[in-house]
Structure 1
Amino acid sequence: MQGPALTGIPGTEIKPGFLPMKSFLNLSGNNMIDEFIHWAPAAGAYKLIQCSSGNLSQRLDNNTMLVSGTGSWLSTIRRGQISVVDMKDGKSTNGIRPTGELPMHLEIMRQRKEINTILHFQSEAATSLCCADYIPDYNVIIEVPLYVGKVATLPYLPPGSSELVQAVRHLPIDIRMVQLRNHGQIAMGSSLMEVIQMAVFFELACKVIINNADQVITLDNDQMEGLKTYAAGRK
């Protein structure tokens, strides 16, 4: 199987974002569902999704996660459209059927204990580039190295398939943003707020790339190193 293609400046080590956010939530049960309902519509407000094209998951603990229900619209999601899933067997414990992309969400949560939130989205510019015949350098604005980090690109694999599960299983540990060919994007992070912010910044970078076409200017090695120093001073 084709492995993930990584973008970035050769020889430049890029962590999962020079300025990773700290998880600001320490909630469970109904309180976390309230947070889920609060943040999910932001995906629609920032035009990261269209109708039912996206899905969202949030870890409650090492055994349980919240997942948007199949066919639900994140922009208008309600409590009765959020599935509570047992991470051991992947079954809903509240009778609400989860998104068909559940296998992908489960695999990432199981493999990456530092990941609490996953947003699968389909924003316009980013999806345009995931359907292009080339992989750009996404480091065109400072928010990409600071908050997004390296971006992996996976070949087209059927949604919800075992092939997609296998592909995300083998992603490098420092990857938190993925382009799925002819499909969409995955943003993963420590909190609901973080993944929304990552997705918004990534979409902005993709718009810059498309709008500037062949004349886009990317950050060079020295500039990237300068951002590392800047980030270190803010931690």
Structure 2
Amino acid sequence: MPLDLAPREDLIALGRLAGRRGFLWGTAGNVSVRRSEAHFLITERGTTLDQLDAQNLVLCPLRGGPGEPPEASSEIQLHRHIYQRRPDVRCVIHLSPLYTTMVACSDLELPTDLVPETVLYLGEIARVPYIQPGTDELGRAVAEALGEDRYVVIMTNHGAVTVGDSSLTAFRRMETLEFLCRMVVMAQAAGLTLRGIGPEAAEALRRSVYGSGNSFASG
């Protein structure tokens, strides 16, 4: 099946952007985009995301089994289960940025009403317990945690997954999540108590943005 250049270039640009933001280390992380109703494109196993080229991207069947194709990222089932459950999702990002991973290795709570961006981009953050990476069980658990209306999942002792209707939206969610985790970790270290705007103000903000037709937080 021939590939368009756009999905390949999208993933390559996404990897470069993650590198520039300092979200990468070693070969941790994997990203994908929905290619069609039957396929998605994912990064190759063992690649460094900020050094991707077209040869590091693998076309995968949406209905394939575990380990198919073998050259794809070990987290292929995580991406596959999300695309199967959520037809609205066009991009899946799994990264382990420093502060997000620190929170994933702790019991710190993440209030999402601290600043407008965390209200609009993150919504309710789901968490899943530690499950062996690269397993079908992990993929199913993350997809279930996302449900029909969540966009962010923290995987205990592992990192995070964000999704969106475009690669830019999914990445903005990852970037906002890392910013939030950094705020919470640094505030705790400094002995500060963070104050949110509260659920009523957060809901009013969401209504004002969604009601205006603004795509700022589109899924």
TM-score range, shorter chain: 0.7 to 0.9
Instruction: Encode CA deviations 1:89-121: one digit per residue, 9 max, x unaligned.
Output: 2534xxx81110001110001111001100001
5+ residue gaps in structure 1? 1-27
Q: CA distance change for structure 1 residues 165 and 229 in 2, over 3 Å: closer, same or farther?
A: closer
More helix by proportion, 1 or 2? 2
The structure with higher relative contact order (CA 8 Å, sep 6+) is 1
TM-score of the superposition, structure 2-length normalised?
0.87
- Output aligned runs, 1:125-144, within 5 Å: 125-144=99-118
Tell me if structure 1 keeps the 8 A contact 2:85–2:143: yes
Partner of residue 162 from structure 2, selected from 187, 195, 203: 187
Tell me if structure 2 keeps the 8 A contact 1:141–1:205: no
Provide the aligned C-alpha RMSD in A: 1.6
Aligned pair count reads 205
Letter in 1 for 2:124: K
Mapped partners of 1:57, 1:38: distance in 2? 12
Match of 1:16 in 2: none
TM-score of the superposition, structure 1-length normalised?
0.82
Tell me if structure 1 keeps the 8 A contact 2:142–2:153: no
Match of 2:72 in 1: 98
Q: 1:55 aligned to 2:30? A: yes
Match of 1:220 in 2: 198
Mapped partners of 1:116, 1:225: distance in 2? 26
| Runs of 4 or more above 6 Å deviation | none
Partner of residue 91 from structure 2, selected from 108, 117, 124: 117
Match of 1:71 in 2: 46
Q: Which range moved further: 223-232 or 103-112?
A: 223-232
Mapped partners of 1:126, 1:169: distance in 2? 19
Instruction: Encode CA deviations 1:120-152: one digit per residue, 9 max, x unaligned.
Output: 011111111111124332332211121121100
Identity, % of aligned pairs? 21
Q: Secondary structure at the match of 2:11?
A: helix
5+ residue gaps in structure 2? 214-219
